A and B are shown apart, each in its own frame.
Chain A
């Protein structure tokens, strides 16, 4: 049974590590055209931009692992930025950042409570939540971008350590490490795999399935609003439109990375690589001076392709087992 033939083994591993191969192919491709793609500056810049969505993805990965979904991460991201900038007018910066970050925890708590404790469809509840959050964000800013006064806030998102490595990349790696440790080395993290893998079995094994599943929404909301703080700092502005396609892009990245939407399989490492696919794609398209609207079309096609292939993969397995 184990000698499936080399061809099949290669196909299976390509499917399994598709994000990794996509990254590799794009990197190879970019060797040919004459661009600044391979300059140290560009690569750091690319990682710098990608960091924000990566932070969102780490939290959302937990939700998906436990068998849920959260479409309101865009809203949490927006709220994080706006609340931080607004709060900074009346309180010290660190407190404002804390408030911005915690706003996501509040949102996540509400999501988790409605979804887990009232057994409602997570997709639609979080869709509703994202509408609510966008509305609140618009109300708070009158639908115009707002910016912070002074330069200190900007320095977080634009500073570089030793003058080279962007702060955001370092922060992203720290958040990554935290989530990696949670998933890998804590009881809670391992329980999430069980909850997403088989909810009933997890319940019968004495895991507090409801509390822990709800907790994933809290963490996802917090990660998203923290990412919103970082984004606002990077752009020195916050706006209700910044979160428009966040959920869709991040979910696509997570899926292409190899975390199953069915739950129980995956991890933040995979999400990091998955999000890298989008980061490289976007950067490469910019480097090649592709029209912004063509970029949107390409992004649409790529997202649909990723999600459709994921469904197809599941269909194949459904018929196989």
Chain B
């Protein structure tokens, strides 16, 4: 009985900790539960959860994707620049394509070079992030463009950024739609299972007929695509496309996945849990903001959470 309790605590400690912090805030800071603050939270939630859902697949597959920050920046600046020449729909389409293509390129470098370990994948994607970020800077000459400077109609972006359907924001509906698809993909399809098995043991998966390279390509491409979606949602809301737009998102996304309870060892996890994790990461930021904790100290908290999570993850592995 005691053992089961210990196990549950280990399993959910990070989650409980974050939840506790949020509850404390709610008690001592009444502003927390105002509708204005809730809207604020929902807005921040959209972009993060998109990247984090994509990141979940990469982490289940046994890797970590640090390139999402660079991809987000690149997608934002290119999409914005294309609104005038090819129209809104075309621009969004190309933007998403660039996201997916960047993820695909990551996976090609990884499968071609035979980078089978998490560390190798992490380094390569880190380098790719420098490359994508550099390309974004190069593309704009380092200038941040504002959506309203664009001559043509940008109603679609206004809709994504601040539109509502009933009580839900449009970005939230996009999120629900993507969650549904990814949830089904992960839990019911062959490829979804193949990703878990690959993350569990690449050698064994290969020797039982799983196409490991194909699986690796799929997870990185999903992650790139989702970074693209996130980028468009984000810059629609802030109405600017900075060439460093995505900075910091990779770490928040990893944190959301880990806080949700997906193991960094690969093989196990779920997008549904990541939704919870992302929500808590946002609530954490929000409550710390309300309590007057600086953004900088919030980073410190996040780093601590990450280390705590990996430490607990490791305890779980030992019997």
On A, residues with C-beta under 8 Å from B are: 69, 114, 118-121, 123-125, 127-139, 143, 245, 248, 251-252, 261, 291, 293-301, 303-304, 307-309, 311-312, 314-315, 318
Contacts and interface: CB of A to CB of B under 8 A. Distances in A.
A308 B110 CA distance: 7
Given A129-B307, A130-B303, A307-B120, 4 more contacts: A120-B307, A294-B134, A296-B137, A300-B129
A232 to B, nearest CB: 19
Contact of B114 (A124, A245, A298, A311): A311
B127 A303 contact: yes
Interface stretch (B87-95, B151-159, B233-241, B292-300): B292-300
A258 B227 CA distance: 34
Contacts of B296: 135-139, 143
Contacts of A139: 294, 296-297, 300
Query: Which interface residue of B141, B142, B314 has the most chain A CB atoms within 10 A?
Result: B314
A129 B308 CA distance: 11
A297 B135 contact: yes
Interface in B131-174: 131-135, 137-138, 141-142
A37 to B, nearest CB: 23
Given A121-B310, A125-B307, A131 B131 contact: no
A261 B119 contact: yes
B264 interface: yes
B251 interface: yes
Contacts of B294: 138-139
A205 to B, nearest CB: 25
B247 to A, nearest CB: 10
Contacts of B310: 120-121, 124-125, 128
A308 B306 contact: no
Given A261-B119, A311-B113, A297 B134 contact: yes
A304 B305 CA distance: 29
Contacts of A120: 307, 310-311, 314
A311 B124 contact: yes
B127 A131 contact: no
Query: Which interface residue of A125, A133, A298 has the most chain B CB atoms within 10 A?
Result: A125
Interface in B87-123: 109-110, 112-116, 118-120, 122-123
12 contacts: A114-B311, A118-B311, A131-B251, A131-B299, A132-B303, A136-B296, A136-B300, A138-B295, A304-B109, A307-B113, A314-B114, A315-B116
A304 B124 contact: yes
Contacts of B130: 245, 248, 296, 299-300, 303
A312 B114 contact: yes
Nearest to B264: A124
Contacts of B127: 248, 252, 300, 303-304, 307
Contact of B123 (A125, A251, A293): A251
A297 B48 CA distance: 26
Interface of A is mostly: helix
B128 interface: yes
A296 to B, nearest CB: 3
A5 to B, nearest CB: 26
A248 B122 CA distance: 11
B300 A135 contact: yes
B302 interface: yes
Given A118-B311, A131-B303, A138-B299, A300 B134 contact: yes
B24 to A, nearest CB: 21
A224 to B, nearest CB: 17
A308 B135 CA distance: 20
A169 B83 CA distance: 51
B126 interface: yes
B207 interface: no
A295 B142 CA distance: 13
A137 B299 CA distance: 10
A144 to B, nearest CB: 12
Contact of B264 (A118, A121, A130): A121
A291 B138 contact: yes
A130 to B, nearest CB: 7
Interface in B174-193: none
Interface in B263-319: 264, 294-307, 310-311, 314
Interface in B235-258: 251
B123 A135 contact: no
Query: Which interface residue of A137, A297, A299 has the most chain B CB atoms within 10 A?
Result: A297
A114 B308 CA distance: 10
A182 B293 CA distance: 44
Given A123-B122, A291-B138, A308 B109 contact: yes
A109 to B, nearest CB: 14
A151 to B, nearest CB: 30
Contacts of A143: 296
B122 to A, nearest CB: 6
Query: Which interface residue of A135, A261, A301, A314 has the most chain B CB atoms within 10 A?
Result: A135
B119 A128 contact: no
A95 B131 CA distance: 41
Contacts of B131: 297, 300-301, 303-304
A294 B227 CA distance: 23
A189 B310 CA distance: 30
Query: Which interface residue of A123, A131, A314 has the most chain B CB atoms within 10 A?
Result: A131
Given A123-B122, A245-B130, A251-B123, A308 B113 contact: yes
Interface in B44-86: 64
